[in-house]
Structure 1
Amino acid sequence: MDYQHIITVEPGKCSGKPCIRGMRITVYDILEYLAVGMTETEILEDFSELTANDIKACLAFAADCEKKLFVTSL
């Protein structure tokens, strides 16, 4: 998934953490909700401004970060 138009980083917003479409909802927030067992449906119900593609973008972003971390550690 191409998440570059969904995941944004702005130095003055959320301390420069990756956010979803310029909102104050961070990738970390979404990943943490998923990690504690919230479903995609529950997240979308709690945050009506989000879409299913936003959640997929967070997962793709996290996967790319993990991949880059692994490659640089070799």
Structure 2
Amino acid sequence: MTLKELESQILALPSTEKAVIIQSLTQTINIGAKGITKTPGVCGGEACIAGTRIAVWLLVEARRIGITEAQLLQDYPHISAADLVNAWVYAEAHPEEIEAVIHANEVA
């Protein structure tokens, strides 16, 4: 299939389906290459370290309460320092999203 054929097929879709495609492509462009993924049905669809169920908001909250990066790497040996950098970058780029999820997960 050529790009022109694909474009024609996408333009023929209903607006709701176009929106789903745009959202999916935007997520892939913005976070897919950086090691952060959002998968429906996994951790409530929240941003996670790729290939794990470790949510970005959880790492941000851990850092806020004083857990060091070294301790996070020890606690989660299957992630790397680069994964943490990706999480911090994602959190900085999406502060409202991260704050909302942290707030939603606070224990009253």
Structure scoring higher RCO (CA < 8 A, sep ≥ 6) equals 1
Q: Find the residue that maps to 1:50 and give its secondary structure.
A: coil
Does 1:4 find its partner at 2:66?
Answer: no
- Normalising by structure 1, we get a TM-score of 0.80
Amino acid at match of 2:50: R
Deviations 1:14-71 (A, max 9, x none): 110001013110001110110101111000001100100111111100111139xxxx
CA distance in 2, matches of 1:37, 1:51: 19
Structure 1 moving runs of 4+ over 4 Å: none
Bigger radius of gyration: 2
Q: Structure 2: which 5+ residue stretches go unaligned? A: 1-29, 97-108
Root-mean-square deviation over aligned CA pairs = 1.7
CA distance in 2, matches of 1:25, 1:62: 14
Post-superposition shift, 1:12? 1.3
Q: Find the residue that maps to 1:37 and give its secondary structure.
A: coil
**Bigger fraction of residues in helix:** 2
Does 1:45 find its partner at 2:84?
Answer: no
Q: Percent of counterpart pairs with the same letter?
A: 32
Rate the CA distance shift 1:3–1:53 in 2: closer, same or farther, 3 A: farther
- Give the corresponding residue for 2:60: 31
Q: Structure 1: which 5+ residue stretches go unaligned? A: 68-74
